Amino acid sequence: MPRPHGKKIYCQVLIDPARYQLIEQQAKREGKRTTGFIREIVYENLEQYVDADLVRKAQESDDTLWEHSVHNRVLGRMKKKAERLAS
């Protein structure tokens, strides 16, 4: 069952060992982490099953959420730095 993990959704997928090895080998060849490589495969293939416009809108929404998260982190670091300098 999927569950929240920060701003993302955590879900487990069972992959057969031989095919996982192929994924792992390809990820290494591309210099990527295996989990990130799997995520890319899923996102790239999503348009085969879902309308491309819906996928684009979902990506825009996810990108906006990511930008907001980064912005909040930057603000948090600036606040901490200001607090350290003030004390």
Is residue 2 within 8 Å of 10, Cβ to Cβ? yes
pLDDT digits (tens, 9 = 90+) for 25-71: 999 999 999 999 999 999 999 989 999 999 999 999 999 999 999 99
Measure the CA–CA gap between 32 and 25, rounded to whole angstroms: 10
Measure the CA–CA gap between 20 and 15, rounded to whole angstroms: 6
Which amino acid is located at 80 in the chain? K
Measure the CA–CA gap between 24 and 32, rounded to whole angstroms: 9
- This prediction's pTM: 0.74
pLDDT at residue number 6: 84
